[in-house]
Structure 1
Amino acid sequence: MVTQSVLSKTVTIQYVAVLREQAQRSSEVLQTSAANYLELYQQLQAKYGFSLAAEDVKVAVNHEFCDLTRPIDEGALVVFIPPVCGG
């Protein structure tokens, strides 16, 4: 029998820009049972009330951009990046 703890993966989340403001933290280490980074973002969105839809953010895993549907990597450094503009 497979248990929840076996399915959980530990990741480090770094929050930037508006997501940092809404999460009220710059980073955290957490365990997740999310299958991919889209599910992880949706879990964090429910937890912190992120105003941006998943399709409006990019994800970088271990300093490389990837698709939100990529499976979660154990021990990954994850940064969800909202749209930014400058001038």
Structure 2
Amino acid sequence: MKIELGTEYEIIEERKGHFNSAETLTIIRQSRNVVQFILGNNKGHGSMPVDHLLYLLKKKDLTPITNRRKLLKAESEEKIG
């Protein structure tokens, strides 16, 4: 799974305590097998191994937030095409 910079994830309620009670986590940098992130509402920042991020995604502790702009663009292209 490719991890894109700028991807924003929603943190489930049960895991917010592990992330300073933040609601979102945004990937800002990836260096080999480590990702760096910032937490929503200026709750902090951190890093973790890519494998751990993938584990959290697999367990559904983090869920990607769909970019509304991409959705709107895809819908408009479908209507035009």
The two structures have a TM-score, normalised by structure 1, of 0.32
The two structures have a TM-score, normalised by structure 2, of 0.33
Which has the larger Rg?
2
- Higher relative contact order, chain-length normalized (CA < 8 Å, sep 6+): 1
Q: More helix per residue: 1 or 2?
A: 2
Q: More strand per residue: 1 or 2?
A: 2
